[in-house]
């Protein structure tokens, strides 16, 4: 697989109190087998089925909800993500911080805006590492990143650079779209690889994602994206309530050009009026305490405004 994730939206079973449309976790201390108590419990604890969208689209491509298994697969992901409230709220908070940057790059590259939700399900908008070695918001494998021009080594790993990795992900998706003809299959190939999707299309003699029989991960992949998109666009309908001040935002920063060796990044941070922690949070692609830079390459190091 070309793209491999540590983050996936697993089936999580939770009990929830629903008051209007606000979902709050609560765990009963004791359940008595007495009929009266059971009746009271059933009145108190309610989990509701969700209304399916009248229609659904991904990158302006219609989701065929008239197909039974397609409806059920989308329903599953809507339920899982609606009732995983803590994770859902974190998604909203982080999306407010990072989506504007990602949206701008997608638009510039000519990739549909809906692909920002692919990054969300890949990593939760965190610089995570998968067991297979994929890293960053877009979960790029080392070979894929290097093929697309990113520097990947023990000292510098540009897969952790949100801007650069988004650009690389866009390039991958554009090539996949050119090959397969649809954004839906391009998204599936991001998870399974171009060769993997192509092999299954030929073997099964079909030409679209919704007619393919695939493994569990890729079979659920696009539906996770569509479910998150629907929830993100209609938060109150799915029970998510928050205020603007609850959401995360990017701090204001500027860039410093560096084209020499930096023998100690802690000293460098102090020279910029910040500490090492602040430097590494904004520049996670710097993987060590120093910047080797034997080739005298020009790097842009992000520094918070004071």
Among 228, 246, 264, give the residue marking a domain's end.
246
67 and 187 co-located in one domain: yes
The two tokens of residue 141 are 């494998």
108 and 208 co-located in one domain: yes
Among 213, 246, 279, give the residue marking a domain's end.
246
151 and 213 co-located in one domain: yes
297 and 263 co-located in one domain: yes
10 is a domain residue: no
So what's the pLDDT on residue 34?
A: 52
212-231 confidence digits (pLDDT tens): 999 999 999 999 999 999 99
C-alpha 227: how far from chain center: 12
Nearest Cα residue to 285 out of 170, 137, 147: 137
153 and 228 co-located in one domain: yes
The two tokens of residue 286 are 């710097």
79-131 confidence digits (pLDDT tens): 999 999 999 999 999 999 999 999 999 999 999 999 999 999 999 999 999 99
First to last CA, the chain: 43
5 is a domain residue: no
Among 230, 246, 262, give the residue marking a domain's end.
246
30 Cβ contact partners less than 8 Å away, ≥ 6 residues apart: none
135 and 227 co-located in one domain: yes
The dihedrals phi and psi of 291, each to the nearest 5 degrees, come to -120, 110
268 and 227 co-located in one domain: no
226 and 265 co-located in one domain: no
Better-predicted residue by pLDDT, 45 or 61: 61
42 is a domain residue: no
125 and 195 co-located in one domain: yes
- Note the residue count of the chain: 306
Alpha-helical runs (H) found in the chain: 35-44, 68-82, 85-109, 116-123, 142-147, 162-180, 183-192, 194-204, 216-233, 265-271, 276-282
So what's the pLDDT on residue 4?
A: 45
So what's the pLDDT on residue 42?
A: 62
215 and 232 co-located in one domain: yes
- Its domain, for residue 134, covers 57-246
So what's the pLDDT on residue 46?
A: 80
**Residue 31 CA neighbour count, 13 Å, CB half:** 8
- Can you tell me which residue has the tokens 């890729």? 218
Prediction pTM value: 0.85
177-205 confidence digits (pLDDT tens): 999 999 999 999 999 999 999 999 999 99
215 and 273 co-located in one domain: no
Number of domains within the chain: 2
CA distances for 193 relative to 106, 144, 160, 196, 267, angstroms: 20, 11, 21, 5, 43
37-60 confidence digits (pLDDT tens): 555 656 667 888 999 999 999 999
**Which CATH number does the domain housing residue 147 bear?**
1.10.530.10
The two tokens of residue 239 are 């029970």
230 and 94 co-located in one domain: yes
The dihedrals phi and psi of 186, each to the nearest 5 degrees, come to -60, -40
41 is a domain residue: no
30 is a domain residue: no
Q: Is 297 helix (H, G, I), strand (E, B) or coil?
A: coil
34 is a domain residue: no
73 is a domain residue: yes
């Amino acid at each position: 697989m070309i793209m491999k994730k540590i983050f996936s939206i697993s089936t999580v079973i939770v009990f929830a109190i629903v008051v209007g449309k606000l979902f709050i976790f609560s765990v009963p201390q004791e359940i008595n087998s007495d009929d009266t108590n059971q009746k009271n419990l059933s009145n108190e604890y309610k989990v509701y089925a969700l209304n399916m969208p009248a229609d659904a689209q991904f990158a302006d491509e219609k989701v065929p909800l008239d197909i039974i298994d397609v409806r059920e697969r989308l329903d599953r992901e809507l339920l899982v993500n609606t009732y995983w409230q803590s994770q859902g709220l974190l998604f909203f908070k982080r999306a407010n911080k990072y989506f504007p940057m990602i949206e701008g790059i997608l638009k510039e590259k000519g990739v549909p805006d809906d692909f920002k939700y692919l990054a969300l399900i890949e990593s939760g908008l965190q610089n995570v590492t998968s067991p297979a070695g994929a890293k960053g918001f877009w979960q790029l494998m080392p070979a894929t990143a290097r093929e697309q021009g990113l520097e990947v080594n023990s000292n510098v790993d540009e897969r952790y650079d949100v801007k650069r990795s988004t650009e690389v992900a866009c390039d991958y998706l554009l090539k996949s779209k050119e090959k397969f003809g649809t954004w839906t299959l391009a998204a599936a190939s991001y998870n399974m690889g171009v060769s993997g999707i192509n092999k299954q299309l030929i073997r099964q003699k079909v030409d679209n994602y919704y007619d393919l029989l695939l493994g569990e991960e890729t079979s659920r992949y696009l539906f996770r994206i569509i479910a998150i998109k629907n929830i993100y666009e209609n938060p109150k309908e799915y029970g998510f309530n928050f205020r603007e001040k609850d959401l995360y935002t990017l701090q204001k920063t500027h860039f410093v050009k560096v084209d020499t060796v930096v023998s100690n990044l802690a000293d460098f941070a102090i020279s910029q009026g910040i500490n090492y922690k602040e430097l590494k949070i904004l520049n996670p692609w710097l993987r060590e305490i120093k910047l080797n830079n034997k080739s005298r390459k020009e790097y842009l190091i992000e520094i918070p405004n004071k």
